[in-house]
Chains A and B, each alone.
Chain A
Amino acid sequence: MESLVDILNSDEVLRRHGRYYSTRLSIISDEDEYHFDISDGEVSPVASVDPDFGFSLCGSKAVWIKFCQEIPPPEHHELGALIASEHLEVKGDMYALQSNFMYVRRLLELWRNDQRSRE
């Protein structure tokens, strides 16, 4: 998790998108959970979801595996595709996601790259 956070904090594009963005973001599957605190774009690992702040991206393990494939199948290749096709449920503050969609998309890209590098 620490190396992933380092990757996120050293990504110039993510830092630029997140300059004024503060929220709590979680990526959740059946087996794993990743929780991030974002404060003006600075990412820190946290232990759990904050039910009153931020949002979670919740999908089954099978969905996240498809998302992480080198060429993901249709409906699984992008954040928006997962949400629109209802493979992913967004729980929590929808505005925090919609108002910074490019940031979240980028973060998820970097998370996916990290997942792929571990296979």
Chain B
Amino acid sequence: MKAVLDDVTGQYVSLPIGEESVRVYFEQAGQGTPLLCLHTAGADGRQFREIIRDESITANFQVIVPDMPWHGKSSPPEGWQEKEYLLTTENYLKFIIAFMAALELEQPLVMGCSIGGRVVLHLALRYEEKIGGIIGLQSGLDAGADEYHPETFSHFHRHDVHQGYSAAGWMAALIAPQSPDNHRWETLWHYASGGPGVFRGDIHYYSYDGDLRNQSLNIDTRKCPVYLLSGEYDWSAPAAGAEEIAQRIPGAYFKKMIGMGHFPMSENPEEFLKYLQPVLKDYLERK
């Protein structure tokens, strides 16, 4: 087997976020319109490993993929051992805005999946002037905040359960049966290797704090195009939820991805690119 060197560069940035400083790892490749990619809960930027290496994308886009603080190769803030990690809408947005400022990203197209698919909506609602558009993968307005009981997810963070195996076992259920085995198990490895309590802390945002049901979705798609792509096999953020969002935002684009689950860019990148490429083409034409 021949060694292959990727055209992907990894770097760190020490990022002030409020009172804290966090060392954040990110990868980038390509040139052109900035495309900022946000990973799912309890995982990291490796989910976009094929997107950032795809020459049809990097020919026109500067693809930037950070690991959120506490995730992947990004560190938690100093004193993590004294804290319980909980992701909130506020600290999620603060991280993204601080990261965009540090890298001087001007009006990037922001693509996020799952929690990332939710936060792109928060971004468009709150910081429309700072972004060029959004692509929500597996977006949903909520994940049942009114029935949210943190103890339901205790198996993702307790001393007598292997969090990695537990998370991987459950996330396997969100991957479509059509997805290739190599990508299925790579996706699950990311879950198996998360830091203690981090996945459960992200679920706090996904299931509770980031709930958008009671907010108007007042996004001007002429200024900030909205694209929503959702996998058929996702029972956590079902495609019907994203379709409903698209119906509430005039001009929003929605497409159901057949034979795809909750992690399209990671579980089946080849098929996902067939859905993503027309979206990117449309975005470039509109901009």
B233, A74: Cβ atoms under 8 Å? yes
Q: How far is the CB of B24 from chain A (nearest CB, A)?
A: 31
B160, A74: Cβ atoms under 8 Å? no
B178, A102: Cβ atoms under 8 Å? no
Q: How far is the CB of B233 from chain A (nearest CB, A)?
A: 5
Chain A interface extent, by class: 20 to 34
Chain B CB count within 10 A is highest, among A17, A78, A84, for A78
A71 proximity list for chain B (CB < 8 A): 177-178
Chain A's closest residue to B188 (CB) is A102
B89: CB under 8 A from chain A? Answer: no
Chain A's closest residue to B173 (CB) is A80
Chain A: interface secondary structure? helix
A79, B233: Cβ atoms under 8 Å? no
B165: CB under 8 A from chain A? Answer: yes
**CB interface residues, A 82-107, toward B, < 8 Å:** 83-85, 98-102, 104-105
Given that A80-B173, A102-B169 are contacting pairs, would A85 and B235 also be in contact in the complex, using a CB cutoff of 8 Å?
yes
Cα A115 to Cα B66 in complex, Å, equals: 44
Of the residues B173, B176, B236, contact of A79 by C-beta under 8 Å: B173
A77: CB under 8 A from chain B? Answer: yes
A101, B165: Cβ atoms under 8 Å? yes
Given that A80-B172, A105-B169 are contacting pairs, would A99 and B160 also be in contact in the complex, using a CB cutoff of 8 Å?
yes
Given that A74-B232, A77-B233 are contacting pairs, would A98 and B155 also be in contact in the complex, using a CB cutoff of 8 Å?
yes
A51: CB under 8 A from chain B? Answer: no
A84, B172: Cβ atoms under 8 Å? no
Of the residues A79, A99, A104, contact of B161 by C-beta under 8 Å: A99
Chain A's closest residue to B175 (CB) is A78
Cα A104 to Cα B235 in complex, Å, equals: 20
Cα A88 to Cα B175 in complex, Å, equals: 18
B91: CB under 8 A from chain A? Answer: no
Which 5 residue pairs of A and B lie closest in terms of their CB atoms, listed nearest first?
A: A80-B173, A101-B169, A78-B173, A98-B155, A102-B169
